[in-house]
């Protein structure tokens, strides 16, 4: 496996161990960050996958057509996302 494949697998396991509140906190940390590397792309892909798996109401605020937008922060209340 390559470094990025290993990193992706590591992040998938890590994100699956987080509570939904913690996961959304990780998402919100990425909002406004314009830096880009291969590692960040893999990190965001794993984050996107885990958020999508959770079947959270309002996920379409940040994920549409399988692509995640990190333009706006969200809050998680009663198993639903709302924009801040």
For 25-63, letters b (16+ CB in 10 Å) and e give: ebbbeeeeeeeeeeeeebbbebbbbbbeeeebeebeebb
Selection from 24, 29, 30 nearest residue 75 by Cα: 24
pLDDT digits (tens, 9 = 90+) for 53-73: 998 999 999 999 999 999 999
The radius of gyration of the chain's CA atoms, rounded to the nearest angstrom, is: 12
pTM of the full predicted structure?
A: 0.94
Q: Quick one: pLDDT band at residue 1, thresholds 50, 70, 90?
A: confident
């Amino acid at each position: 496996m390559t470094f990025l494949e290993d990193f992706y697998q590591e992040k998938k396991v890590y994100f699956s161990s987080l509570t939904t509140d913690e996961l959304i906190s990780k998402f919100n940390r990425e909002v406004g960050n314009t830096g880009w590397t291969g590692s960040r792309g893999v990190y965001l892909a794993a984050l996107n996958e885990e958020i999508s798996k959770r079947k959270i109401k309002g996920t379409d605020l940040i994920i549409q057509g399988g692509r995640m937008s990190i333009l706006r922060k969200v809050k998680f209340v009663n198993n639903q996302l709302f924009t801040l």
